[in-house]
Amino acid sequence: RCGFVAIVGRPNVGKSTLLNHILGQKLSITSRKPQTTRHKVLGIKTEGPVQAIYVDTPGMHVEEPRALNRYMNKAATSALSGVDVVVFVVDQLAWTTADEMVLEKLSKLDCPVILAVNKVDRIEKRESLLPHLDMLSRKRNFAEIIPMSALKETNLEPLEKAVTRFL
Ligand code: GDP
Ligand code: MG
């Protein structure tokens, strides 16, 4: 089995950190040149019979200037159309309008979206996360909601397992 995985989210939520920790050094095959295909391959992780191809999706970057225009451009959504599963990364306790824009973009998509609530290592009291998770769960019918820490590699495995389910 193999499939395409897109990691999306507003800047600074930890997408790059997550990708680096998922792929690691030994397991990643990072492409050196821009791909001519629809998606830019960032890395491939093979685990037994399953191959997860992590891709970069054009039009999902809020970092870039004119990002807002891109968000208004429905064509950007189609960039995600070849993807089997989306990992939507958010920061624990910090939901912003930029997150809302990403969510809006994903709303036109019918592929499964896994919500990765990152940086939970920063939380002192676990209970404080619960109302936030509850709020997030109402935003969309997420395939799964996984509190995690990319940096500390907390719940990284459950996240990867969840991804694998859709490949
Ligand atoms: P991106 O813009 O979404 O790619 O975010 P980055 O991966 O560049 O991370 C932004 C900042 O958040 C960096 O300083 C990371 O070290 C930090 N960060 C990422 N993941 C975690 C995490 O799980 N816990 C904590 N405490 N910091 C994190
Ligand atoms: Mg990044």
Average confidence score pLDDT of the chain: 82
Strands 40-47 and 50-56, bridge-based pairing: antiparallel
- CA gap 95, 98 in Å, rounded: 8
Which residue is closest in CA terms to ligand 1's atom 6?
14
**Residue 119 alpha carbon to ligand 1 centre in Å:** 7
Cα of 60 vs centre of ligand 2, distance in Å, is 12
Buried b (16+ CB within 10 A) or exposed e, 119-151: bbeebeeeeebeebeeebeebeebbbbbbbbbb
Ligand 1 centre to CA of 11 (Å) is 9
- List, in sequence order, every beta strand (DSSP E) within the chain: 2-8, 40-47, 50-56, 85-91, 113-118, 144-147
166 or 63, which is more confident = 166
- For the stretch 65-105, pLDDT in tens is 455 555 545 555 666 778 999 999 999 988 999 899 889 88
Ligand 1 atom 18 nearest Cα:
14
The C-alpha atoms of residue 37 and residue 52 are separated, in whole angstroms, by 17
Does 28 or 141 have the greater pLDDT score? 141
ipTM of this predicted complex? Answer: 0.99
Q: What is the pLDDT of residues 139-166, one digit of tens each?
A: 999 999 999 999 999 999 999 999 999 9
